Structure formats: structure tokens, C-alpha cells
Structure 1
């Protein structure tokens, strides 16, 4: 199958919202991108088979894609395929990574790791579940996908502006920014969990917010891994991106951006001309402080 496609991309958590819009806009923008060297395959992943397959069917009937003749069935360049992936389950990540390695032995071009959860409420159990998916699951996915990328590949971890460091005490903020290993960031997540269990997270310098802290951790480990890869001489570009406050189920429909608007920075960092920029946090199509 590798010889059939010139470019191969993956979008996780893509059955709805920003993930679904990202797949659509990748297909629309690919023909005019520097990555365009021929047929393009996008893996749309989701936890639920029914919802994932329904999302692929929806895209195959999408008016924007049809009008642009973007899909190969209409003479375009892009195929979209579903694969089951639950980043909260290490075995699921390993299964997908092994499939990609076996099926595309020349490597893949990019991964947009959009999968994540946002749960209502705040208590120790909710914090544990949120960190398990958004931090540890995303970290496991990053380590699994990274070796599969081509020499000039890209890894885009979808974080959030909610995880900006202004929500943390100066000492915790400093520790995030000075982290030199993933372990340094993981220790911060462990300290947050322990502080919540003891009811003292604010005294420890953390917000009473599981999602925000998990996303700060995601941005933290992403920038650390990116710096490590660059120091090894790797040309793979690894960045964290926020779609912004987008009108999706995750924002309970309260977001100010449409899913298409939210997908813009994700698509730019995956397909666009961003030079050699890596280890950055992107918002509104440019790198910003986090």
C-alpha cells in the first residue's frame, strides 16, 4: 500500500468537531501544499467504530469536498479511511502503530494527535481519568508514532489555550518552562494528582482544573521531546497547537470559533510552510508563549 500513496497522514479523535474539520481541510488544502507529490491517504481514527465509519461516510458526501473534487472517487487526490484507536488504551495505540509500520514501511508523513477528553466536575477520580487520557495517553501515542514518521515528518499534538501557564504559580510555571526531560513534566502531573487527593492543589500552585493541567502537561512534554529530537539531528517537526475556543461538544457549544476555523492552525502546522520551526506552541496560525 505504501507505493499507492505519496503522502500518508493520521488524525486521531476525528469523528466530530475539530478533528473532523481537520480531515476535511487537509483534503482541501493538500493539492496546493508542499507535501503534494501524488495520492494522499488520511487515517481518521476514533474510539467508536460506528461513529468513526459514519464520519468517513459523512466526508465522502461532504459538499466542500465534492465541489473541490478533492476525493479520489471524484478524480482528486485524497482517500479517507477509518481505523479504531483509543489513546487511553496502550494496547490500542500499539496495535495501530504496528499496523502503520507493517502497511507503510516507508513511513508516514504526519500525525495530528487530536484525541482527548474534557469531563465535567472536579475531584481526584476525574483528575486521574483526565490525566490518563490527555497526558499519559497522548504521551504514549507520541512515543509510538514518532518512530514511524519520515525524515521530514511532522507531529502535531493538539493542546489547549486552557493549559497556558498563567493559571499556575510562578514556581510551577518556571518548572514547566525549565523541564529538560519528560520525567520532569510527569513529576508535575503526579504532584498535581497528589495535591488534588489532599485537597491542596491551589496551595501547591495548580488550578482546580483537570483539563487545563493535563493540557499544560501535554504542551510541556511535546516541547521537551521536540528539543530532544532536534538535538539528535532529527528534522521531524514536533509542535503543540491550540485550536482556540471552538464551538464543539467539548466546549458545550459555547465556543467562539467554528470547527473549520479551529482546524486552521492544525492544518498549517501539519501541511504548511513553517520553515524548520519545532518545539513551539501555536495559536491563531503563529507561535506564541504558553
Structure 2
């Protein structure tokens, strides 16, 4: 029996990932559709077409410091382990948002939420398991001033990386980031932080994971036609979430390519971090 979980799954790409997993897996398998609002979770589960794997809704607010560990413990007791995890929960930011006003919640969801998910679910991965963090090609160092690169390459543990994210958050809040070398678009350091988190965890686990057929990676789905993306770019010709989900589902369900381990992958190709 295969057990899968998707965070941030009540709409958009996350919902498409749940539907795609359910369609590709078997009736004996289970896909957990998670989010932070029980009404939206219930509605999303009801929207699933019939057939394929069973879809179950579970509350998971990645901004809650204890939520990922709590759900991981429940699923370990229920199933003994997990086979596929997509970390897709994200707080969106619009052009009119003041970074200083939103940066606390933004990092709590996008960055600390990612490291909590990695810490909670990586230990539960079964042989041939997959843990994929949905990120972006913005999450590479060539989008960042060289003077800042060591903030994301020096940490050797997730806790150390969290400290660097907290540093950046505080610099955004007090204005030092705007006066310094940081890009004004907070999505760039945040995505770099997510990819760096995957790389740090992969460095800790690489030898054992590859021996067990496990993949830990970040994935870029590319531009997607969603209302949030439309605030920033012309997405009229971009793929719909269901189309964008295809490459991510392939990454999670097809045979392991060791070259993808610990990397940012876009449409089956590694996007160099630096």
C-alpha cells in the first residue's frame, strides 16, 4: 500500500497533485489532502473524481510549530511510514504587499514550514520514498548578490539554515535588507532558502537514502496560470495547475534518477544551485 501526502492542497497546484496521485495510484492506496482550513479541506476532498486511491483530508497548518511533527506521529502510528510527500504549502505575496508587514508570516509558512516538514517526514520515508519540496527556479544563487551566497551555502544543518532565514527576516523588518544587497522581491531569498533546506538535508542523508532508493529533491513546476501569478506576470499562455503537476508527479512516481537527489529539478532536468 502506498501512502502519500500533499501540503497546501486545497487549491491550485496542491489540489492538482492530490488528484494526479489519486489517479495514478491504486484503490488500496491513500493520499492525504492537507490544509489549514477544515471547511476547504472537506470541500476539496469532495471535489475529487472517483476511482484510484482513497483521498483523506487532514488538518496541517505548517505555520504551527508543532503541527507537522504531530501529523507525522499520527501517520506513523496509522501506517508505519510514508511513501510520497509533496511540500506545497506557501503564502503568496502580491505586488502591493509591504514586505515588512508580511515577512513574519511569510517566513513562518514558506521557510520554517518547509524545514519542519523535512524534519518531521524524512525519518518516516519508506524504501523508494519521495520527499519533494515545490520551489522555483528563482531559488538559485544567481538571483542573489554574491556577498549573500554564504548565508545559504555555509549552514550544515536545518537549524543553522533557520537561523539565517531568521536573520534575513529581521533585516527585512527593520529596513536593513532594503538598504543592503537583498533583492526587494522577498520570494527570491525565500525560494533559495527552500532549495538550500533540501540540499542541507540531502547532504546529511545521501548515502543511506540512495541505497534505499529514496529521493529528496526540490522541484520547479514552472509558470502556472493562477490568479496569484497573474498579479505579477502575464500567465495567459501558461499551463493550468493540472498540466504543471504532471512533471512533479513523474518525479515522485517514476524510477529514481540519482542525479536528481538533493537538487532543484525542473521538467526532469537539474537546475544548478550556483
Q: CA deviation at 1:143?
A: 0.5
Which whole-Å CA distance do the structure 2 matches of 1:52 and 1:233 have between them?
32
Corresponding residue for 1:3? Answer: none
CA shift in 2, pair 1:177/1:268, >3 Å:
farther
Corresponding residue for 2:219? Answer: 241
Which whole-Å CA distance do the structure 2 matches of 1:250 and 1:97 have between them?
30
Q: CA deviation at 1:119?
A: 2.6
Task: Identify which of 52, 71, 94 aligns with 2:41.
Answer: 52
Task: Identify which of 209, 215, 236 aligns with 2:185.
Answer: 209
- Provide the secondary structure at the position in 1 that maps to 2:131: strand
Task: Identify which of 95, 114, 127 aligns with 2:103.
Answer: 127
Which whole-Å CA distance do the structure 2 matches of 1:110 and 1:159 have between them?
16
Cα displacement string for residues 218-263 of structure 1 (whole angstroms, at most 9, x for unaligned residues): 1101111011111456633110011112112432475322102221
Q: CA deviation at 1:129?
A: 1.2
- Provide the secondary structure at the position in 2 that maps to 1:241: strand
CA shift in 2, pair 1:114/1:233, >3 Å:
closer
Show structure 1 runs of 5+ residues with no match: 1-5, 32-37, 61-65, 72-76
* TM-score of the superposed pair, with normalisation by structure 2: 0.87
Tell me the matched-pair count. Answer: 264
- Provide the secondary structure at the position in 1 that maps to 2:57: strand
Q: CA deviation at 1:30?
A: 3.6
Which whole-Å CA distance do the structure 1 matches of 2:3 and 2:151 have between them?
36
Task: Identify which of 242, 247, 270 aligns with 1:260.
Answer: 242
> Does the aligned pair in 2 maintain the 1:17–1:249 contact within 8 Å?
no
Which whole-Å CA distance do the structure 2 matches of 1:279 and 1:127 have between them?
27
Q: CA deviation at 1:193?
A: 1.8
Which whole-Å CA distance do the structure 1 matches of 2:82 and 2:209 have between them?
19
Cα displacement string for residues 17-64 of structure 1 (whole angstroms, at most 9, x for unaligned residues): 001111122233346xxxxxx72211111111111111111113xxxx
Structure 1 runs of 4+ aligned residues shifted over 4 Å read 231-234
